[in-house]
Amino acid sequence: MRYILCTMKILITKAAPDRLRTKPSGDKALGFGKLFSDHMFLMDYVEGRGWKDPRIVPFGPLALPPTAVVLHYAQEIFEGLKAYYAKDGGICLFRPERNAERMNRSATRLCMPPVPVEDQIRAIEELVRIDRDWIPRNHGASLYIRPAMIATESALGVHPSTEYLYFVVTGPVGAYYARGFEPVSILVEENYIRATRGGLGEAKTGANYAASILAAKEAKAKGYDQVLWLDAERRRFVEEVGTMNIFFVFGGELVTPPLSGSILPGVTRDSVIELAKEWKIPVYERPVEIDEVIRRAEDGSLTEAFGSGTAAVISPVGAFCYRGRESRVGDGKVGELSLRFYEGITGIQYGEVEDRHRWVHRVE
Ligand SMILES: Cc1ncc(COP(=O)(O)O)c(C=O)c1O
């Protein structure tokens, strides 16, 4: 296989002024993932020739044959990160190299060609610079960045595609907590599973999300915000929550399930663990049984639980419902550590707190 090296020349075709898309007037109605900026980055791969034609073009439909491998066998991977204006007016990304590295690990699992980390970051930087007017100014609102790779070869046999498209699109998203930092209620899922060890769970690939939507839909219909996934083999150990990793505070100790192969290694998860170490909070990556969670919620030694992920950063859990019974976490309100991690991470992101870990990547 040949890949491009780290010096790509990006051909830029800007959208004609009369083709520019209408920008939203305020940040309030932005929501998530409904609006997209004016341009997108594209690059093609052909086996034996490597990556070629890196280009930025006006946002628009992709031309694919109905027989493209991705449409039948889901050979697809993606990432999600954000660009935002820091307090000093600079445009920043948060640990983008982590997303690029994870993209390449996902690529390996799905038999797809990696894209050098430097090139992924350059593609994002160029795109964000061109569409900088799309980055919302309100605190908490941001430009969501979605890099993805799809198998484009026209062939119906099940095999690794010989052709791929890597693309990046962006779009403004509103502040996740526009109505305030609120706890969510979670349904512990015993029927469906998201992923299994040896499967695709630790890759960020569409197939995992396809497997999850029915459970999420049913949980919503029952009045819950998210599902808590249990391990596929025994439905005994906690894996992750919706599209976030999960943390518990047991008697002052922070505990999160280990990266066992079936959960996504979250960038936010890693940031929480690093901050906990810096703040001298005991933190453990160990298997967590759902029985322990419920027992300790009932006896009061589970004082907090929260999800971690790019979209919400920290999402406090107010209650778990397991086998038809609701167990409140702590007093059901936002816990002290949940708030501390939320403010710690967003503080670093927005340049309000010193960036000791050098996590903020500035787009000059
Ligand atoms: C299944 C799943 N787990 C965890 C996460 C959290 O990962 P990150 O912190 O990198 O956003 C995500 C979000 O990308 C996810 O989709």
Question: Which pLDDT belongs to residue 21?
Answer: 84
Domain 11-173 fold: D-amino Acid Aminotransferase; Chain A, domain 1 (3.30.470)
Domain with CATH 3.20.10.10 in the chain: 184-349
Output phi, psi for 149, to 5 deg. Answer: -140, 135
> Which pair of structure tokens corresponds to residue 26?
């305020």
Question: Which pLDDT belongs to residue 22?
Answer: 83
Q: Which atom of ligand 1 is nearest to the CA of 245?
A: 4
Domain 184-349 fold: D-amino Acid Aminotransferase; Chain A, domain 2 (3.20.10)
3-state secondary structure of 353: coil
* Predicted confidence (pLDDT) per residue in 149-192, tens digit: 999 999 999 999 999 999 999 999 987 777 678 899 999 999 99
Question: Which pLDDT belongs to residue 7?
Answer: 65
Q: How far is CA 193 from the centre of its chain?
A: 19
Q: Which atom of ligand 1 is nearest to the CA of 310?
A: 11
Question: Which pLDDT belongs to residue 248?
Answer: 98
- Average per-residue pLDDT for the chain: 94
**Pairwise CA distance, residues 125 & 114, whole Å:** 19
**Pairwise CA distance, residues 229 & 236, whole Å:** 10
Question: Which pLDDT belongs to residue 199?
Answer: 96
Domain with CATH 3.30.470.10 in the chain: 11-173
Question: Which pLDDT belongs to residue 5?
Answer: 56
Torsion angle, CA of 114/118/120/123, rounded to 10 degrees? -140
Centroid of ligand 1 to alpha carbon of 263 (angstroms) = 9
The 10 Å Cβ neighbour count of residue 107 is 19
**Pairwise CA distance, residues 245 & 233, whole Å:** 19
Q: How far is CA 335 from the centre of its chain?
A: 23
Question: Which pLDDT belongs to residue 70?
Answer: 98
Centroid of ligand 1 to alpha carbon of 352 (angstroms) = 24
Measure the N-to-C terminal CA separation of the chain; round to a whole number of Å: 33
Closest residue by Cα to residue 84 from 25, 22, 146, 140: 140
Per the CB < 8 A criterion, the answer to whether 363 and 127 are in contact is no
Per the CB < 8 A criterion, the answer to whether 20 and 59 are in contact is no
Question: Which pLDDT belongs to residue 4?
Answer: 62
The stretches of the chain forming alpha helices (DSSP H) are 69-73, 96-109, 117-130, 206-221, 267-278, 290-299, 336-349
Residues with CB under 6 A from ligand 1: 80, 240, 243-245, 264, 266-269, 308-310
Question: Which pLDDT belongs to residue 128?
Answer: 98
* Predicted confidence (pLDDT) per residue in 99-116, tens digit: 999 999 999 999 999 999
Question: Which pLDDT belongs to residue 313?
Answer: 94
Tell me which of 101, 264, 342 to substitute to probe ligand 1's pocket, judged by most ligand atoms within 8 Å of the beta carbon: 264
Is the CA virtual torsion 99, 89, 344, 308 positive or negative? negative
Amino acid at 25: S
CA distances from 305 to 36, 239, 246, 247, 290 (A): 33, 13, 7, 6, 13
The 10 Å Cβ neighbour count of residue 115 is 24
Closest residue by Cα to residue 265 from 109, 143, 33: 109
Centroid of ligand 1 to alpha carbon of 272 (angstroms) = 13
Centroid of ligand 1 to alpha carbon of 82 (angstroms) = 13
Instruction: Show the low-confidence residues of the chain (pLDDT under 70).
Output: 1-5, 7, 26-28, 179
Tell me which of 94, 244, 315, 342 to substitute to probe ligand 1's pocket, judged by most ligand atoms within 8 Å of the beta carbon: 244
Q: Is the pTM of this model over 0.75?
A: yes
* Predicted confidence (pLDDT) per residue in 56-93, tens digit: 999 999 999 999 999 999 999 999 999 999 989 999 99
Closest residue by Cα to residue 53 from 104, 99, 119: 119
